[in-house]
Amino acid sequence: MARFRDLTLVPVIVLLLAVGAVLDPIFLTSGNLTNILQQQAAISLVVLAEAMILISGKFDLSLESTVGMAPALAVMLVVPAAAGGFGLGLPAVLVIPLCLLVGAAVGAFNGFLIIRFQLSAFVVTLAMLIIVHGLQLGPTEGKTLFQLPDSILYLGSATWLGLPAAIWIAAVLFGAGSLGLGYLRLGRSLYAIGGNADAARAAGIRVDRVLWGVFVLGGVLAALAGILETGRLGAIGAGQGVGWIFMVFAAAVIGGVSMDGGKGTILGALTGVLVIGLVQNILTLKGVSGFWQPVVYGGIILVALMISRIAGGKAQD
Partner 1 sequence: MIYHVEALNVVKRFGPTTALDHAGITIAEGETHALVGRNGAGKSTLVSILTGLQRPDGGEVRFAGRPAPALADRDAWRRRVACVYQKSTIIPALTVAENLFLNRQGRWIDWRGLRARARDLLATYEVDVDAETLAGDLGVEQRQLVEIARALSFGATFIILDEPTARLDGPAIERLFTRMRALREQGVTMMYISHHLDEVYEICQSVTVFRDARQVMTRPVAGLPHDELVSAMTGEAAVHYEARPRTPGQNIVIKAENLSLSGRFHDVGLTVRSGEVVGLAGSASSGKVGLAETLAGLRRPDTGRVEVNGSHPRSGDVPAFLAAGLGFVPEDRHREGFVPLLSVAENATVPIARRLGRFGTVSPARRRAEAAHLIRTLDIKTEGPDQPVGDLSGGNAQKVVFARALVDDPKALVVINPTAGVDVKSKLALLGAVEDAVERGAGAVVVSDELDDLRICDRVLVMYHGRIVRDVPRGWTDHELVAVMEGIEQ
Partner 2 sequence: DGGGAAPSGGGGGKVGIDHPRADSDFWNSYMKYVDTLSGELKVDRLNPTNSQNDVSKLVGNVQALTGQGAKAIIMAPQDTGAVATTLQQLENKKIPVVSVDTRPDKGRVFMVVRADNRAYGTKACEFLGEKLGGKGKVVQLQGALGSINGRDRSEAFTECMKTRFPGVTVFSEPTEWEGSKAASMLQTRLEQHPDIKGVYMHAGGVHLAPTLQVLRTKGLLVPPQDAGHVFVVSNDGIPQEFEAIRKGEIDATVSQPADLYARYALFYAKAATEGKTFKPGPTDHGSTIIELPNGLEDQLPAPLVTKDNVDDQNLWGNQVK
What are the residues binding partner 1 (CB under 8 A)? 2, 182-186, 188-189, 191-192, 194-196, 198-206, 258, 262-263
Measuring CA to CA, which residue among 288, 257, 309, 246 is closest to residue 12? Answer: 309
- Under DSSP, is residue 236 helix (H, G, I), strand (E, B) or coil? strand
Q: Could you give the string, one character per residue 99-118, with x where binding to a copy of itself holds by CB under 8 A and - elsewhere?
A: --------------x---xx
299 forms part of the interface with partner 2 (CB under 8 A): no
Q: How many CB atoms lie within 10 A of CB 281?
A: 21
**Contact assessment for residue 251 and residue 276, using Cβ atoms and an 8 Å cutoff:** yes
Residues 131 and 124: their CA atoms lie apart, in Å, by 10
32 forms part of the interface with partner 2 (CB under 8 A): yes
Is the Cβ of residue 231 or residue 268 nearer to a copy of itself in the bound state? Answer: 268
Kind plus residue range of the DSSP H or E element containing 164:
strand 163-164
188 binds, among a copy of itself, partner 1, partner 2, none (CB under 5 to 8 A by kind): partner 1
Near partner 2 by CB under 8 A, which window of 4-12, 32-40, 120-128, 199-207?
32-40
**Nearest-approach distance from CB 107 to a copy of itself, in angstroms:** 16
What residues are paired with 163 via a beta bridge? Answer: 160
Is the Cβ of residue 8 or residue 38 nearer to a copy of itself in the bound state? Answer: 8
Measuring CA to CA, which residue among 301, 293, 294, 299 is closest to residue 275? Answer: 301
Residues between 33 and 52 with contacts to partner 2, criterion CB under 8 A? 35, 38-39, 42
Kind plus residue range of the DSSP H or E element containing 126:
helix 121-140
**Contact assessment for residue 154 and residue 238, using Cβ atoms and an 8 Å cutoff:** no
Residues 166 and 187: their CA atoms lie apart, in Å, by 24
Residues of the shown chain interacting with a copy of itself in the complex, contacts defined by CB under 8 A: 61, 113, 117-124, 126-131, 133-135, 137-138, 140-142, 246, 249-250, 253-254, 258-259, 289-299, 301-302, 305-306, 309, 315-317
User: Where does this chain bind partner 2 (CB under 8 A)?
Assistant: 24, 26, 29, 31-32, 35, 38-39, 42, 82, 137, 141-146, 153, 157, 229, 231-240, 242-243, 280-281, 284-287, 289-291, 293
